[in-house]
Amino acid sequence: MANLALGIDTGGTFTDGVIWELDKRKILCKTKVVTTRHDLHLAIDNCLQGLLDQWPDEYNLSEIKMISLSTTLATNAIVEGQGAEVGLIQVGFEPDGPLPTPHYASISGGCNVRGRITREVDLEEAREAVKSLEGKVEAFAVSGYMSIRNPKQEIQVSRLISEMTGCPVVTGHQLSSDLGFRERTVTAVFNARLISLITNLIDAVKENIITRGISAPLMVVKGDGTLISEKMARERPVETLLSGPAASIIGAMALTGLKEGVVVDMGGTTTDIAILQDGRPSLNQKGARVGGWMTRVKAADITTVGLGGDSLIKVSSSGELSIGPQRVFPLAWVVDQFPQLLDELKEIWEEIYFPLENQPTTILVYIKDPVNLELSETENQMLELLKGSPHTLFHLGRKLQKSPELIPWKRLVNGGSLHRASLTPTDLLHVSGEFDRWSREAAEIGMNIMARRMSEDGQAFIKAVLEKIYYQVSSLLVEVLAGCREEGLSLEDRGASFFLQKIFGQEKDEKRLIEFSTRVNIPLIAVGAPVGAYFPQIAERLNAPLQLPESAEVANAVGTVSGKVIERIKITVKPGEHGGYLVYTPAGREGFLEMEEAVQLGRKIGREHVYKKAENSGASDIEIMEHREDKFTNLYGFVPEGEEEQNRLFIETIIEFSAVGRPWGDDN
């Protein structure tokens, strides 16, 4: 019997799926379907059906050992402010800045840096705080000052909330053992906000696989590319932040066999860049920053830019070209879905429509009615017209007897009630014949309209768009590889754009007195649906060795089934307040007279705890690795050689444990 895995990645534009043979590490079948963002259940259903329609006769569904899922749902929800309303109870401190929820209360309590309770929590005060938030929120987060040194008060308050409300409750110490109570608080709030969203997605996947007779366990990709069980994903959904980009890195490694390189994933919405070293992605040790909020979620160190196959191509009224960061439906796709729009695009071409602010090819598509938004008469009329069918902005102007420039569409688009379609790089691939999935005629008309706006012919316009894409991706890669992002620098800010233009510009002058160039010393691994159209040119300009793996278009889905379960915890031993030593574990703190006694207890608890975490995350064949670091300082600065030992002052011992396991078992 074979060991198979089913991988699904739900991206912003496409949902990808693969059937992967685990032992031979190869794809048996693959599919790519449009992500129906208003109904993810439908996208998953279409993806699964696409895979089963190709199912090889020699295999049986019972040979599927696991299903694995990566998603942008958590990241998008944080960025767009979606998810459950969360009530935050802060123990022992007041807010020191903005919070990611308007529903919060601070109560007395707290402990010091050594974990000693300095003020007992007032449970009656906590009870009143919870009552003040009941009815306004669907979940709770509890964050206590220095709770990673002693979680007692967080646990007391969380138990009280559970007894009073029955709502999901998240505590900060469960999610991070790192210092930084503000970041830990943000992480706890986000985790509470995401529980219902991730639960709904997991339920949709499970419903689809069960109805098809598949009984394998479901795993979910975390932001660092490792896997957790569906149970743990339901409890710690915040760990799925940046899940999709992390899966692409793991997938790129699986498809190429390379352990070193720079992975570039170009999708429909974004281009993500990460460095692969020693067979794993570099991690952002401080925590992932999402939607402007710093968290304590360990995630791959990924640089993202709003440039993809479905990025909006804009030409200003003065003829200036730009691409992204907004994502829109391609004209080729929307006309394929609604063929009557082709006549509306032809109408724009014939009328020589030249708006000052809007793009001439703008089409508006109805998505949903707005919530808690008072609409103007014109906005209500627009929605009624668009519920029947999408229309170009030009056509809407005629229907409403208004200038298209005066139609108030932007608020409805920003609120998610409408979505735009317009010219995109995907359309230009239809024109060139490199992609032929939808309406080429619509893409050609849209391209000609925009070329005329730029006072160019069609070929010159396509060339200008390609040059813009080459430049944007190449310069971003230089920033990442040169370490500019780590220093908080931008090459554009430093006036280096002049040199970047000379390096990556198309025109080469044989009489130029000086040449500028780059050379990338590690492979450029490009994955994603459109990379074949762009990256040969980008690699040439960077002087980079290029890897375009077979099945690059479904690398994310391959990554979902190629990762391992890895759980980590950290145990700290420090000097006691009045002598002796304190060991800090996930359960609390304990004191010892002798240091090695404290270390041995820490090792015992650490190994047991990390093993249990890996087991709960669905791992089998678990291996535990341990790293100990003792930190000392010299009492008197310079110490003569040979006298270091007696002049050392102990600071702390940190023991890090990693449990690594296979995400599927032979008995599944």
Judge whether residue 550 has pLDDT over 70.
Answer: yes
Contact 440/429 with Cβ under 8 angstroms?
no
Residues 6 or more apart from 459 whose CB is under 8 A from it? none
Nearest to 96 by CA among 181, 178, 172, 176: 181
Q: For residue range 600-613, what is the model confidence (pLDDT) as tens digits?
A: 999 999 999 999 99
The reported pLDDT for the residue numbered 505 is 63
pLDDT band for 464, please (50, 70, 90 cuts): very high
- Residues 51-58, mean pLDDT to the nearest whole number: 91
Average pLDDT, the chain: 87
The residue count of the chain comes to 668
pLDDT-based confidence at 289, cuts 50/70/90?
confident
Per cent of the chain over pLDDT 70 is 92
Q: In this predicted model, what pLDDT tens digit does every residue of 552-605 receive, in sequence order?
A: 999 999 999 998 999 988 899 999 888 899 998 887 788 888 988 999 999 999
Q: Which two tokens stand for residue 104?
A: 């919060």
- How would residue 661 be classed by pLDDT, with cut points 50, 70 and 90? very high
The pLDDT of 356-384, averaged and rounded, is 88
Give the model's pLDDT for residue 389: 93
Whole-number Å distance between alpha carbons of 345 and 360: 9
Q: How far is CA 237 from the centre of its chain?
A: 12
Check whether 513 has a pLDDT greater than 70: no
Q: DSSP letter for 106, please.
A: E
Closest CA to 368 of 401, 325, 416: 416
pLDDT band at 647 (very low <50, low <70, confident <90, very high): low
Which stretch of 149-158, 419-428, 432-441, 475-484 has the lowest confidence by average pLDDT? 475-484
DSSP codes of every residue in 161-207: HHHHH---EEEHHHH--SS-HHHHHHHHHHHHHHHHHHHHHHHHHHH
Report pLDDT for 226: 92
Distance CA 667, CA 664 (A): 9
Torsion sign, CA atoms 125, 127, 131, 136: positive
Joined tokens for residue 656 = 């890090």
Pairing mode, strands 261-266 and 524-527: parallel
467-501 CB burial, b ≥16 within 10 A, e <16: bbbbbbbbbbbbbbbeebeeeeeebeeeebeeebe
pLDDT at 665 over 80: no
pLDDT beyond 80 at 546: yes
- Which of 115-124, 539-548, 627-636 is the least confident region? 627-636
pLDDT per residue as tens digits for the range 89-109: 999 888 778 898 999 999 998
**Residues 29/55, Cβ–Cβ less than 8 Å:** yes
Task: Tell me the mean pLDDT in the region 439-463.
Answer: 95
430, 433, 436, 442 alpha-carbon torsion, rounded to 10° = 30
Nearest to 56 by CA among 91, 30, 95: 30
Q: Using 50, 70 and 90 to split pLDDT, how confident is the model at 67?
A: very high
pLDDT of residue 73: 80
**pLDDT, mean of residues 33-55:** 88
Max Cα-Cα span within the chain: 91
Non-local CB neighbours of 309 within 8 Å, separated by 6+ positions: 13, 266, 267, 268, 330, 424, 425, 426, 429, 529, 530
Q: Are 212 and 61 in contact (CB under 8 A)?
A: yes
Is the per-residue pLDDT at 409 higher than 70? yes
Percent of the chain clearing pLDDT 90 (strictly above): 52
* Among 530, 531, 613, CA closest to 570: 613
According to DSSP, residue 562 is labeled T
From residue 66, how far is each of 254, 293, 389 by CA, in Å?
A: 17, 33, 41
Are the C-beta atoms of residues 214 and 6 closer than 8 Å to each other? Answer: yes
Angle at 658 between CA 653 and CA 664, to 5 degrees: 165
- Residue 547, pLDDT above cutoff 70: yes
Q: Is the pLDDT of residue 639 over 50?
A: no
Instruction: Tell the burial category of 135 from Cβ atoms under 10 Å away from its Cβ (0-12, 13-18, 19+).
Output: exposed
Distances (CA, A) of 286 to 244, 299, 614, 637, 658: 20, 9, 23, 30, 18
Gap between the Cα atoms of 31 and 165, Å rounded: 44
Cα separations (Å) of 411 from 202, 376, 419, 615, 639? 32, 11, 11, 48, 68
Q: Report CA 396 to chain centroid distance, whole Å.
A: 36
Does the structure show a pLDDT above 80 at 645? no
Among 529-543, 562-576, 579-593, 614-628, which stretch is predicted with the lowest mean pLDDT? 579-593
pLDDT at 641 over 80: no
Average pLDDT value for residue range 25-42: 87
pLDDT tens sequence across 316-344 = 999 999 998 888 999 999 999 999 999 99
CA angle centred on 163, ends 160 and 167, rounded to 5°? 100
Distance between CA atoms of residues 412 and 101, nearest Å: 24
Question: Strands, DSSP E only, in 247-367?
Answer: 261-266, 271-277, 280-281, 283-284, 289-290, 293-294, 299-300, 303-305, 311-315, 321-327, 329-330, 363-366
DSSP, res 237: G
At residue 90, the pLDDT reads 92
Helices (H) and strands (E) counted in the chain, each on its own, are 20, 31
This prediction's pTM: 0.81
Contact 385, 399 (CB under 8 A): yes
What is the pLDDT averaged over residues 216-220? 93
For residue 202, which of 362, 354, 40 has the smallest C-alpha distance?
40
Q: What is the DSSP letter of 512?
A: -
**DSSP sequence for 322-336:** EEEEEE-EEHHHHHH
Higher pLDDT among residues 497 and 176, named by residue = 176
Q: pLDDT tens digits, residue range 309-322? A: 999 999 999 999 99
* Strand segments (E) across 533-647: 546-547, 565-575, 581-585, 588-592, 620-634
| Angstrom distance (rounded) from CA 206 to CA 546 | 38
Tell me which residue has tokens 């082709």. Answer: 342
Return the top range by mean pLDDT from 172-176, 415-419, 432-436. 432-436
Q: How many CA atoms lie within 13 A of 317 on its CB side?
A: 7
Q: Are strands 103-107 and 4-10 parallel, antiparallel or unpaired?
A: unpaired
The span from the CA of 668 to the CA of 662, in Å, is 12
